[in-house]
């Protein structure tokens, strides 16, 4: 084994879709569908269709490989293997079709199966984030921008923002189905000439049989812009997952310590040398694999630049990009679900971190209160800025510096300042925003009464 997908990454349910055996089964299903279309249009008898169908069900991968060693052509090997079993009916196998009628339509069948998994993955992640958004709706923590302390938010809001983004991905996946899950049955250059004037009817019957849409403008292949879109969608999701995992990694740093990825203290080892280490290894793995997924974007774009009605420069690349991206996105979505379902949220540390800097992070509210009392906005900003920077730079007490200013004394006293710097008084519409996001999510995945 060479590829890490074989022994380290990916779930069996996703990998099974892209196995060599399943790829063959999908291609055989397309050949079966073509025979059915010929039967439905009166070109062949029902017995011929049934013979071909039975042959397709009984073709063995080992035999296909034996033939391919001789033919050096994978699709022709499949056609010959079917013909060997189908007897006299074998003369109708693959009639009028070209290789990519079979290959591209089979890929669409694989992606159709994968979409079902992907949609469930996203729904499961949405449910997990919804629970956290509600559970920690009022858990106040530091908001941070540029890696610096900013204003107070809630952990529930942070999770809800992630939830909103995942929900948009779910919508994109659903909306893309009609563009991605399409096949073709139009022959060598996309004209359907080999189907004797019935190409449109035959193609329609084939795709209905398989539950796929139709490529309305084929060449010898379906448009690779469709595969580009699929890889883009997968890469976009991976980027969100990496962003989420990066946030967990940052918040787990000991100097912050507000969340922690689950760690089995009885058995798990953080480092072979540094025995004290508690590392966010799953979050790091999510980040690492998401970068691999996005690396498939460039070859996917390149695969759409083909000569005339097609060449073969896309073929090898697509055998990597589509299966690998699919298997890895399923893997890291489920790892992200695990991280957030088992996340240790240190509410006490969140509050402690807030209290340590409350005079600084509430400076916007101080400015607003001074303006409310009659001070000019720019004057208020400059006074607060000057004392905040001085206090931080010289390790002095902001409160004492600020309240000692004669100008400030005209507008604010100590009691008013203490009320102004309470983080819970400056959360804006955080709760309403969470509710708005959850309402949208509920429309997609239904409402759960018990979120605990």
The tokens describing 131, both together, are 């629970």
CA angle 192, 194, 197 (to 5 degrees): 65
Catalytic-labelled residue, pool 16, 73, 271, 404 = 271
| E strand intervals along 301-428 | 344-345
Find the helix packing angle between 281-294 and 225-252, rounded to 10°.
160
Alpha-carbon dihedral of residues 78, 79, 82, 86, nearest 10 degrees? 180
Rounded Cα distance between 33 and 77, Å, is: 18
Listed in sequence order, the residues at least 6 apart from 398 whose beta carbon sits closer than 8 Å to its beta carbon are 359, 360, 387, 388, 391, 392
Sequential DSSP letters for 260-314: E----TTT--S-SS-TT----HHHHHHHHHHHHHHTTHHHHHHTT--STT--STT
324 a catalytic residue: no
289 contacts 4 by C-beta, under 8 angstroms: no
Catalytic-labelled residue, pool 73, 89, 94, 146 = 146
Contacts 24+ apart (CB under 8 A), 252-258: 252/280, 252/283, 256/349, 256/353, 257/346, 257/349, 258/141, 258/155, 258/345, 258/346, 258/349, 258/350, 258/353
Listed in sequence order, the residues at least 6 apart from 317 whose beta carbon sits closer than 8 Å to its beta carbon are 299, 300, 302, 303
181 contacts 115 by C-beta, under 8 angstroms: yes
Which uninterrupted H or E stretch holds 148? strand 148-154
146 a catalytic residue: yes
Rounded Cα distance between 34 and 45, Å, is: 13
Rounded Cα distance between 79 and 102, Å, is: 10
Task: Pinpoint the alpha helices (H) of 219-258.
Answer: 225-252
The tokens describing 143, both together, are 């908001």
Helix (H, G, I), strand (E, B) or coil at 213: strand
Catalytic residues: 146, 271
């Amino acid at each position: 084994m060479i590829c890490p997908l074989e022994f380290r990454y990916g779930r069996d349910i996703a990998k099974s879709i892209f196995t060599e055996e399943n790829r063959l089964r999908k291609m055989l299903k397309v050949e079966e569908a073509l025979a059915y279309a010929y039967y439905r249009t009166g070109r062949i008898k029902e017995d011929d269709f049934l013979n071909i169908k039975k042959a397709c069900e009984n073709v063995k991968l080992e035999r296909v490989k034996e033939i391919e060693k001789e033919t050096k052509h994978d699709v022709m090997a499949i056609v010959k293997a079917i013909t060997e079993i189908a007897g006299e009916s074998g003369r109708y196998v693959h009639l009028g079709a070209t290789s990519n009628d079979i290959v591209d339509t089979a890929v669409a069948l694989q992606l159709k199966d994968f979409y079902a998994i992907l949609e469930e993955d996203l729904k499961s992640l949405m449910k997990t984030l919804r629970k956290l958004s509600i559970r920690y709706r009022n858990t106040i923590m530091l908001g941070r921008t540029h890696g610096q302390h900013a204003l107070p938010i809630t952990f529930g809001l942070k999770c809800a923002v992630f939830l909103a983004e995942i929900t948009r991905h779910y919508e994109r996946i659903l909306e893309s189905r009609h563009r991605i899950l399409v096949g073709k049955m139009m022959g060598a250059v996309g004209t359907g000439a080999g189907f004797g004037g019935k190409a449109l009817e035959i193609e329609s019957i084939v795709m209905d049989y398989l539950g796929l849409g139709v490529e309305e403008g084929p060449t010898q292949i379906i448009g690779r812009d469709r595969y580009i879109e699929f890889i883009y969608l997968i890469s976009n999701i991976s980027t969100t997952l990496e962003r989420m995992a990066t946030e967990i990694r940052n918040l787990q740093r000991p100097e912050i310590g507000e969340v922690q990825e689950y760690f089995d203290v009885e058995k798990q080892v953080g480092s072979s040398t540094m025995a004290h280490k508690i590392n966010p290894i799953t979050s790091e793995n999510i980040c690492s694999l998401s970068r691999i997924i996005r690396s498939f974007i460039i070859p996917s774009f390149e695969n759409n630049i083909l000569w005339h009605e097609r060449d073969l420069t896309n073929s090898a690349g697509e055998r990597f990009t589509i299966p690998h991206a699919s298997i890895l996105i399923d893997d890291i979505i489920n790892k992200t679900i695990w991280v957030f379902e088992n996340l240790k949220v240190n509410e006490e540390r969140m509050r402690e971190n807030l209290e340590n800097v409350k005079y600084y992070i509430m400076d916007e509210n101080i400015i607003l209160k001074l303006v409310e009392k009659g001070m000019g906005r720019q004057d208020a900003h400059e006074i607060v800025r000057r004392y905040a920077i001085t206090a931080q730079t010289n390790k002095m007490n902001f409160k004492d510096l600020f309240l000692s200013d004669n100008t400030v004394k005209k507008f604010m006293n100590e009691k008013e300042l203490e009320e102004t710097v309470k983080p819970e008084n400056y959360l804006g519409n955080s709760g309403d925003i969470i509710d708005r996001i959850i309402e949208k999510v509920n429309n997609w995945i239904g409402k759960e009464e018990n979120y605990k």
